[in-house]
């Protein structure tokens, strides 16, 4: 499951970059503007070092404003990449087809031996 999520994130990132750098034919919602996160400076001080995080408010996962912003981001991404859904699926199927499907865990070394779960 984690592998599938990571793969989808990588594919979406690559496709987003491709969509931003060129304007393909038939792209839907070309006039749609991406949501803009509110800039709210928050000062953090650690060991005498001060830094300002303008997007610190996005850390609160229960805040309705954060949820609304993330939903707007998801809606925008879906609308902009809607014309690439077939390509996304075919890329995903090709990647999955090259991965050995099993229930083994990743081996980890403890002292002199490697351990894994099946």
What are the structure tokens assigned to 32, written together? 């749609």
Could you give the CA distance from residue 114 to residue 38 in angstroms, rounded to a whole number?
A: 48
Quote the number of domains for the chain: 1
Phi, psi of 51, rounded to the nearest 5 degrees:
-135, 155
pLDDT for res 100: 80
More confident residue, 8 or 91: 91
pLDDT digits over 41-68, tens only? 999 999 999 999 999 999 999 999 999 9
More confident residue, 110 or 11: 110
pLDDT for res 19: 54
Band of residue 101 on the pLDDT scale cut at 50, 70, 90 = confident
Q: Could you count the other beta carbons within 10 Å of the beta carbon of residue 15?
A: 19
DSSP state for residue 52 in the 8-state scheme = E
pLDDT for res 66: 96
Domain of 14, in residue numbers: 2-115
Please list, residue by residue across 74-97, b when 16 or more beta carbons sit within 10 angstroms of its beta carbon and e when fewer do: eeebeebbebbeeeeeebeeeeee
* CB distance 8 to 92 below 8 Å: yes
CA dihedral 40, 12, 23, 20 (to 10 degrees): 30
**Per-residue pLDDT at 24 exceeds 70:** no
Q: Where are the beta strands (DSSP E) in the chain?
A: 42-46, 49-53, 108-110, 113-115
**Per-residue pLDDT at 105 exceeds 90:** no
């Amino acid at each position: 499951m984690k592998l599938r999520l990571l793969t989808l994130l990588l594919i979406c990132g690559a496709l987003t970059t491709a969509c931003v750098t060129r304007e393909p034919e038939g792209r839907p919602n070309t006039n749609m503007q991406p949501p803009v996160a509110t800039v709210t400076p928050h000062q953090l001080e650690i060991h005498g070092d001060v830094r300002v995080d303008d997007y610190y408010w996005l850390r609160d996962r229960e805040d309705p404003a954060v949820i609304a912003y993330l939903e707007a981001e998801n809606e925008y991404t879906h609308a902009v990449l809607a014309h690439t859904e077939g390509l996304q699926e075919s890329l995903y199927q090709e990647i999955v087809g090259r991965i050995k499907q099993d229930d083994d865990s990743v081996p980890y070394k403890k002292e002199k031996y490697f351990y894994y779960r099946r």
